[in-house]
Structure 1
Amino acid sequence: MACTSQKIDSNVTGLRYAEEECLKELPLAPVWHPLEPNGYNDFGGQVTTIARNPINPSRQRKKGVITDLDASGGFGQDLTQTGLTRLLQGFFFADIREKATTAPTNGAAIPLTGVVAADSEYEAAAGLAIFGAGSLIFASGFDQAANNGLKQVSGSTATAVTVNETLVDETPTAAAKLQTVGYQFASGVVNINVSGSYPRLVRATGALDFTTFGLVPGEWVFIGGDAAATRFTTAGNNGFARVRQVGVDFIEFDKTGATMAAETGTSKTIRLFFGNVLKNERQANLIKRRSYQLERTLGQDADGTMSEYLVGAVASELSLQVRQADKVTVDLSFIATDNEQRPGLQGPKAGARPDLIESPAFNTSSDFSRIKMHVLAAGNTNPNPLFAFLTELTLTINNNVQPNKAIAVLGAFDVSAGTFQVGGNVTAYFADIAAVQAVRNNADVTLDFALVKNNAGMVWDIPLIALGEGRLNVEQDQPITLPLSMEAAEGGAGHTLLFNEFPYLPNAADV
């Protein structure tokens, strides 16, 4: 005998999202990507009713009518390496700029058909010529451990990528993929030149065209590998650096981890690591509004899985929260045009539902490889920071999304996006009056931070900030702290916020 359940626990629920083809319309074969919510904030539809209140002797109101529907939803989850990158495109109103890969976020995949040990090559029916000789690629999803990890490309054709490392024969599954994560220069090819206003990685010999790396101004790279031969001798010439401009024979930097010094890379096979870039775009043809359907499953009734949906949902607000001795968490909210409920008999909507790719959360104690706020100074890539340590940091995105209402429409027929606003708050330990003066002087300030874990990582960069507040917090028996508000503006590279995802980083990046 089947027992009737009188309640459903929250732990049996699940959350997924699918990108719509057009507003409120799913593609023919939607993919419902999994999420890991820690909790929800006002998820669903809120109905507005207005009661009838005619003048009558009984002084009683009559049952009202439904006049409006507001559909929205928010949730929070831990920041992980792989959990949110695809969805972040919606908040940036842009496509992620990816390096060559067999599994692009927004394009057709290149199925890998085999791994041949005798030839040290990965094979596919077509499409593998995108991986050039010298490229560093990261292989993942293979059953044989030897076929995963960092590899250096020695050559490629449309049907094969040959690497320098030893491989094992395998017929890979659909989960296997190759991603470009950097480049290894031949011996003595690159030097560090500091003769100009900004330091440069320059080509000393050969004809390699640096513009083929696909780097853009504002993007971050990591210079140097783990082996001594793959990094510069001067420690300050290695590490995270932000690209200012790229030429055929140089890469110029305007942010570095230390002050760079002139160095000749004789006998060095320097490694340069780079990743995928997501930023709010300046050019109209690169700005893309995405809409989603968010699916929350609600457990089982007598007939199957119950579910509810936010339909025509556009990314509205994001809040990245960093607290001492904690996980890094993200709150995300969406404004939708409608919401739907489906009983078990109807079941969830059709589509593929891939498994969650497990990834550990970033913590605020040991996963920050770099965090720095400083006043911008022309020609100085490594100015003194405004503070040494933070107690908390909040970074926010607000797309100012509003639903569009109309007569004869319950809910909204569309949504409109307003100004792309980036801001937040920081609280720092006070050590120098320079931070207070930066507020008073309305100085041009910038903030960036890098998170690294398990040989992968990400950088968040706000290139131009105006600081607010700035009143010192002085309490008995406590260190002096300085709370500051941040209002970001368009920087020199044409964006307000940039997110850099690194699928692979060397051990040297985890400091």
Structure 2
Amino acid sequence: MSDANRTRLAHVRETTLGTTPTTPRMRTARMTGEQIQFMPQTVQSNEMRSDRMNADPIQVNQTNQGAVNGELSYPVDNSPFSDWLESLFCQVWDNTPTFDNEGTADSVVTDAGTTTDTYVVASGGAAVVAGHLVRATGFTNAGNNQIFRAASSTGTTIVGSSLSLTAETAPPAAAKLKVVGFQGASGDLVAVADGITSTALDFTTLGLNVGSWIKIGGTATGDKFATAACNGWARITVIAAQKITLDNLPTGWTTDAGTGKTLKVWFGDQLKNGTDTIGQTLERGFLAQTTPTYLISRGMVAGQGEFRFESEQIATWSITFQGLTGEFTPTSLDASPDAATTNAIMAASVNVGRIAENGAILSDKNYIRSVTVSINNNLRNLGGIRSDGLVGPEDIGKGSADVTAQMETYFGSSTLLAKLFAQTVTNMNIRIAKDSQAMVWALPRLTYTDGSANATGKNTDVMLPLTATASIDELTSSHIMLDRLEYYE
């Protein structure tokens, strides 16, 4: 007997497409269901028989494809969902400097506090620069878990000021240091009409990206602008040494000298569509069976993805994979895969902080009831006559990266309809956040390509469903971008 509630989906990233790493570290995926099809493909013989009978069907290939569905939560780095997003975007995350023991104590982060105000890392510490905000988590001593402004660094050290650390010579498996933002010295960061300027801090050294979203201001009075309208979310359009130029500024944005303020600004990792082929091995374990069966699918590439934000519903996703080879076996690739992440599930309406079209929240009562963002990589299997004893395609080809946004809006005015007929170029961004973590989906260049307003029946609202199609945005060289902020205030 098999029970869906006893089905486990596990994942590992592949280095070579179609090849499962030796002794893989599998990670349990979160899902609401899956429709992966791993099965033989057969054809019928064309031989004619005088008794009108058929010979046995002949296997000619295998099918290895299908969707995994889930509810939206923060995509923790190296988790299945995070890797699947990379596969779908055909690009790896551009992460802020991160040092994570990730299951092995004293491996990447190797000391805290033995030297005053200092965390020690195995390598790469110089990527953290003075002014970065670093978040330390997972340490044994509670006081070592904090957010601090980096004062200096070397290849193996990250140094703050007055951190009051307790010595830990072998930080635990969960110990992690990650850059989550930057902070200016007192009075250094100033709000100007179109961005933020500095005198001492060099913005070009911080690892910022054009097109990235930032959250301006901390929770403490001294860490945010005195003018409330200058604290909030904005997008970076230009990065210069002493100025970041911004658009999508908070409503009411104005100038603020930042006098006496040690302003905190939060930013995170960024993902945008690219050209890489990123595969993974997926293992489905049917654990309710007396002897569990494990179905293993290799070379699985995310070909299509849908992300749905609907009023009064949980935000959901569906990712469809296309793969190469597979097998079924009574033995798991990893008998003890890593546990699934536990980050909170997010809902539309409650957790969506902003949906903006052309840089502003829709007006004239053209309220948005739902948005679905879709990505289609137009994958195709490349098959030949294999000589390695395996059954299945040998490679996967990619077509264009087709990105669309489908919106259901109330027909409050002709504003959006006019853009449809005029083929007006626009853009869209969706911010969803919970528990001090956020994702910002951005489609920087869109054109409305479909839509019609209709009165469908008595006692109903007239809706204007719209489809917008993405094209290349010259500023960001992308169709779609996703920012994730592991922490913000």
In structure 1, stretches of 5+ residues that fail to align are 1-6, 282-286, 375-380, 507-511
Partner in structure 2 of residue 89 of structure 1: 86
Evaluate the alpha carbon distance shift between residue 352 and residue 29 of structure 1 in structure 2; reply closer, same or farther with a 3 A threshold. farther
Deviation, 1:216, is 1.5
**1:200 maps to 2:195:** yes
Partners of 1:23 and 1:386 in 2: CA distance: 50
Partners of 2:268 and 2:244 in 1: CA distance: 15
Deviation, 1:271, is 1.1
Partners of 1:117 and 1:389 in 2: CA distance: 56
Deviation, 1:200, is 2.2
Partner in structure 2 of residue 34 of structure 1: 28
- TM alignment of 1:138-287, pairs within 5 A: 138-157=135-154, 158-170=156-168, 171-194=170-193, 199-203=194-198, 205-206=199-200, 208-281=201-274, 287=275
Q: Tell me the C-alpha RMSD between the 2 structures.
A: 2.4
Deviation, 1:64, is 1.9
Aligned residue among 269, 285, 302 for 1:297:
285
Partners of 2:232 and 2:458 in 1: CA distance: 40
The one-letter code matched in structure 2 to 1:191 is: V
Deviation, 1:307, is 0.6
Deviation, 1:33, is 2.1
Deviation, 1:266, is 1.8
Partner in structure 2 of residue 334 of structure 1: 321
Partner in structure 2 of residue 354 of structure 1: 338
Partners of 2:107 and 2:233 in 1: CA distance: 31
Deviation, 1:319, is 0.6
Partners of 2:140 and 2:66 in 1: CA distance: 39
Partner in structure 1 of residue 372 of structure 2: 394
- TM alignment of 1:400-479, pairs within 5 A: 400-408=378-386, 410-474=391-455, 475-479=457-461
3-state SS, counterpart of residue 229 of structure 1:
helix
Evaluate the alpha carbon distance shift between residue 164 and residue 399 of structure 1 in structure 2; reply closer, same or farther with a 3 A threshold. farther
Cα deviation per residue 1:43-101 (whole Å; 9 max; x = unaligned)?
A: 13232222235333322222221123221121101111135223211111111111111
Partners of 1:168 and 1:331 in 2: CA distance: 45
3-state SS, counterpart of residue 477 of structure 2:
coil
In structure 2, stretches of 5+ residues that fail to align are none
The one-letter code matched in structure 1 to 2:479 is: T
Q: Percent identity?
A: 25
Partner in structure 2 of residue 496 of structure 1: 479
The one-letter code matched in structure 2 to 1:176 is: A
- TM alignment of 1:38-117, pairs within 5 A: 38-41=32-35, 43-82=36-75, 84-103=81-100, 111-116=108-113
The one-letter code matched in structure 2 to 1:477 is: N
Cα deviation per residue 1:83-140 (whole Å; 9 max; x = unaligned)?
A: 52232111111111111110399xxx96223332883433345543433333211222
The count of corresponding residues between Structure 1 and Structure 2 is 475
The answer to which of 492-501 and 219-228 deviates more is 219-228
Partner in structure 1 of residue 310 of structure 2: 323
The one-letter code matched in structure 1 to 2:43 is: I
**1:25 maps to 2:19:** yes
Deviation, 1:174, is 1.6
The one-letter code matched in structure 1 to 2:195 is: R
Partners of 1:200 and 1:290 in 2: CA distance: 37
Deviation, 1:373, is 1.3
Deviation, 1:356, is 2.1
Q: Does the CA-based 8 Å contact 2:366-2:410 persist in structure 1? A: yes
Partners of 2:480 and 2:277 in 1: CA distance: 17
Partners of 1:413 and 1:88 in 2: CA distance: 23
Deviation, 1:209, is 1.5
3-state SS, counterpart of residue 328 of structure 2:
strand
The one-letter code matched in structure 2 to 1:367 is: N
The one-letter code matched in structure 1 to 2:392 is: G
Cα deviation per residue 1:428-458 (whole Å; 9 max; x = unaligned)?
A: 1222211110101101111101111111111
Deviation, 1:350, is 4.9
Superposition TM-score, scaled by structure 1 size: 0.87
The one-letter code matched in structure 2 to 1:141 is: G
The one-letter code matched in structure 1 to 2:485 is: F
